[in-house]
Amino acid sequence: MKTSYSIGKPIDRLEGHLKVTGAATYAAEYEVGDLLHGYVVNSTITKGEIIDIDEQAARELPGVIEVFSHNNRSKLPWFDILYADMDAPPGTPFKPLYDENVLYNGQPIALVVAETFETARYAASLIKITYEESKFKTSLLSNLQDSRSPKKGMATVVKPLPPDDKGNFEKAYAAANVNYEGEFNHPPEHHNPLELFATTTVYEGKGKLTVYDKTQGTSNSQLYIANIFGLHYKNVRVIAPFVGGGFGSGLRPQYQLFLCVMASLQLKRNVRVAMDRSQMFTFGHRPPTYQKTKFGASKDGMLTALHHTAIAETSQNEDYNEVVVNWGGMLYPVKNTEFDYKLVSLDVFTPMDMRAPGGSTGMHAIETSMDALSYALNMDPLEFRLLNYSETDESANKPFSSKELKACYQKASEAFGWEQRNPKPRTTKRGQRLVGTGMSSGIWDVIALPGKAKASLNKKGQLKVKSAVTDIGTGTRTIMTQIAADSLGMTLDNVVFEYGDSKMPLAPIQGGSYTTGVIGSAVKAVCEALKKKILKAVKRVEASSFKGATLDDVIFSDNYIKLKKDPNIGFSFQQLVSDNGKKLKASKSNIPNAFKLKKYTRAAHSAAFVEVEVDEQLGTIKVTRAVTAVAAGKIINPKTARSQILGGMIWGIGKALQEETLIDHNLGKYMNTNLGEYHIPVHADINDLEVIFVEEKDDIINELGAKGVGEIGLVSMAPAIANAIYHATGKRINNFPIHFDDLL
């Protein structure tokens, strides 16, 4: 029998059939007896105080059990000393129903609990709120003068603030032969995954809860509930095996979790609270950001000066920050640099991570500026980037753990046919449509965090591996099964990966493209530990044949342990466990070697090449084809990885051309809080997309050499589209999304 090595194979998602047939169960779908339903009442003003809540009509409605507000919520041990969750930025987390103060438009101010969802929703419409309104500010661009540096905290360890300035930027910029200065505006965006946020809380009694939550981290929701409500961690179990998309919106616990658990504890009943689509716009979002760049180059095309500043929105109570301006110095070797990143506190909910946070914003400004400079130099945009290519991160004076961006350029440009383009803008046409091509680089950090996994072999010869990590639709269950199977030389049908349950070994929240490296390395480590126990057990059963054997003397293949020198001598795992009389178990944590890792800059890279057609009369824009090449270390499953990159490319189309949350600053309110008016790409918007994975070996980043692919497909796509639109039309539009009226 031949060993089934599964890493690198395009395995179908193991849970795919459950999802497409509707058999997968999500947070609002669990069958729970004696269940009450909650519906949230949201504030209709942006800032002020609640003077009165008239609940009489709602309470008189048959089926209504309770109406919660700041007036009657239970007194809680609010967790003010430390961060309330793993992803909390510096400041004070938002506290639902805390007092009479309204901090932002859409703030939850009451919860109606009733026998049915429909009753709760109707009763919520009967509640009358009297407010005293205060002046507010929600416009970033109108308040840039109030910008300040972000406060430092735990979040800035993972999201570093800008590097120190180098050289003399002003002198170098003034002396440059060619200059480009640009301003960039990015609007707020909301995540809008298909599954709405919901929580089902099962009241077990004696301070015990089982919570089915829409979350990207079961351990994080457990931490939050225990801290906020003063419960023992072991008495709080959070389950989330299926998550209908997250994109970062589930990294932090959302307010429906708090309200649902609060109601369950106070009523001592099972309770479910689910948001509707409009309520999905009443919590975190990608922050609007204003950027300014100044790039200078010598006449031979070498970058000599690089300035990048960004000013972003945050709330009044927390300092949410992103890595926006750091990327240019990491990508390009420039001796004179100046970076700055500031925040403006506004009367909004705290922004939060949204796929490629900071990267998709910052790379647009950087790569558009690079494109503009290449045209000013009369140099091919790809040639310009290759001329300024570096194998080291000059901003940190460190080598990259690996960097195959040059190969990305080569393979993607060849597949795209870049050399065939007419370099002059507004010269290529198809009928009434102007045709343009553009390209962009992409970069995303590789984050190293600790994670834990447990593994066991049972009497059926089946390997079970456990971790609390969630699977937000990226294929985590599948690739972890592949890693485990490969580590022990087992077939996939004999491996079960259990996940999405806080009672399992601790896992960080799933985001930042680090799950494969973090939990995958823990899975590999625990399987390596289990190998030692298997060898020890086989020595007890078959002492003569395996006497003195070390792990170097054996192979694990086809669900067997065998001697290398004579593969005919071996034991099946099933027989071994049966003879041993009990399961073989192991537990292992993946602890990154911080001393080793800090010597390197660790990043995934990409290159995107895009063709657009722009109707010369109407200004409508169509992305006709695109190629993205990615260097992200070892690709565990090229099928699920390709889906991730395709998703990022499609999101890039949306970011460049469609996606924005419109806010009326006179009301302080988002106006397009539905999927009819919040535009995202549909099938008709998507044409020929190609993904190429470049071979890249990295022995430094983690045990697997895997960098992750969730974000890297997005960061390079949107700027490539903007650059292609310039090539098609000769107009440089720096504000996203680019609308047809910008081109008329």
Each residue's pLDDT tens digit, 398-447: 999 999 999 999 999 999 999 999 999 999 999 999 999 999 999 999 99
Do 443 and 507 belong together in one domain?
no
Please check whether residues 410 and 551 belong to one and the same domain.
no
Residue 632 and residue 684 in one domain: yes
In a domain, 195, yes or no: no
- Calculate the average pLDDT of the chain: 96
Distance between CA atoms of 580 and 597, rounded to whole angstroms? 41
Rounded-to-integer distance, Cα 521 and Cα 523, Å = 5
Angle in degrees, CA 556, 558, 559, rounded to 5? 70
* Residue 728 pLDDT greater than 60, yes or no: yes
Contact by Cβ (8 Å): 325, 290: no
Specify whether 500 is located in the same domain as 399: no
Q: Does one domain contain both 401 and 422?
A: yes
Q: Does a structural domain hold residue 12?
A: no
Alpha carbons within 13 angstroms on the beta-carbon side of residue 696 total 32
Same domain, 409 and 519: no
Q: Is residue 668's pLDDT more than 50?
A: yes
Residue 146 has which token pair?
Answer: 């109030």
What is the CATH classification number for the domain harbouring 243?
A: 3.90.1170.50
Structure tokens at 136: 């507010």
pLDDT at 383 over 70: yes
Would you say residue 21 lies in a domain? no
Question: Would residue 518 count as lying in a domain?
Answer: yes
**Structurally, how many domains does the chain consist of?**
3
pLDDT tens for 388-398 read 999 999 999 99
pLDDT computed for residue 1 by the predictor: 39
Beta bridge partners of 270: 35
Rounded CA separation 681/646 (Å): 12
Is residue 243 scored above 70 in pLDDT?
yes
CATH code: domain of residue 472? 3.30.365.10
Nearest residue to 603 (alpha-carbon basis) of 402, 450, 354, 385: 402
Assigned domain for 15 exists:
no
Question: Do 678 and 717 sit in the same domain of this protein?
Answer: yes
Count the Cβ atoms, other than its own, within 10 Å of residue 421. 21
| pLDDT band with cut points at 50, 70 and 90 for residue 592 | very high
Give yes or no for a contact between 337 and 306, defined as CB atoms under 8 angstroms apart.
yes
Of 274, 296, 319, which one is at a domain's C-terminal end? 274
Co-location of 330 and 383 in the same domain: yes
Is 414 in the same domain as 493? no
pLDDT-based confidence at residue 152 (cuts at 50, 70, 90): confident
Question: Which residues are bridge partners to 554 per DSSP?
Answer: 563
The pLDDT value recorded for residue 83 is 56
**pLDDT for 81:** 47
Q: What is the pLDDT of residue 85?
A: 87
Q: Residue 494's domain spans which residues?
A: 449-591
- Residue 120 scores a pLDDT above 60: yes
The confidence score (pLDDT) of residue 76 equals: 76
- Domain end call among 274, 299, 322: 274
Confidence band, pLDDT 50/70/90 cuts, at residue 80: low
Q: What is the pLDDT confidence band of residue 55, given thresholds at 50, 70 and 90?
A: very high
| Same domain membership, residue 259 and residue 118 | yes
Lowest mean pLDDT, pick from 364-378, 545-559, 632-646:
545-559
In a domain, 13, yes or no: no
Cα distance between residue 536 and residue 541, in whole Å? 9
Q: Determine, yes or no, domain membership for 616.
A: yes
Residues 98 and 225 in one domain: yes
CA nearest neighbour of 10 among 637, 604, 470: 637
Tell me: do 403 and 458 sit in the same domain. Answer: no
What is the rounded average pLDDT of the residues 336-363? 98
pLDDT for the residue numbered 557: 94
Domain boundary among 528, 561, 591: 591
Question: In this structure, is residue 25 part of a structural domain?
Answer: no
